[in-house]
Amino acid sequence: MNYTQIEVDFIERTLELIDQYETYRADLPPDKQYNHTLLINCLVGLIILPKEKTYSRIPKEKLHFEQTLAGCGIKKSKFNDTLRDTKELFHRLRNAVAHFGIEVISVTRENQIDIIRFTDVEAGMFVADFHSDEIFPFLKYYANTIIDNIKNYPA
């Protein structure tokens, strides 16, 4: 089906891809569960592309990490505490993804992906360490914020 509003439709479809994958991932053996590969691919669709066309719709809310991000399930992930607002956080995450400043870290003997580190390579700045179970809720929060802003504040 064709896009009716590509900025919104692309974000919504990317979120649906994640949800679809999650419904059958458990049926796959661990060495064939590519949820973090899907995640990195989806970051392009959820962080880079929307930012390029909808930058003015990214909210600029003062960051109070405990309050701002707790609502989307963030409890263990760490963020650069010099980031002032959500717009700067999303911009730095965009830079990390666009320049592949992504590192996966395992803290267990099973060598699973436990933490995904984002670094704004060009700025030489640590942006965030997401625990693997918290990044999808954060992305959904971010994506839905962009969708709401596009729908509520048309250009």
For the chain, 155 residues long, give each residue's pLDDT as a single digit of tens: 787 887 888 889 988 888 888 888 888 887 787 877 888 888 887 877 766 666 677 777 777 766 667 777 788 999 998 998 888 988 899 899 999 999 999 888 877 789 999 999 999 999 999 998 898 888 888 888 888 888 877 66
pLDDT, position 129 = 95
Nearest alpha carbon to residue 63 among 91, 96, 87, 97: 87
CA angle 141, 22, 58 (to 5 degrees): 20
With 0.85 as the threshold, say if the pTM is over it: no
pLDDT, position 115 = 94
pLDDT, position 69 = 72
pLDDT, position 155 = 65
Helix (H) or strand (E) holding 130: strand 125-131
Number of helical (H) and strand (E) elements in the chain, helices listed first = 6, 4
Q: Structure tokens of 85? A: 């607002």
d(C-alpha 92, C-alpha 90), whole Å: 5
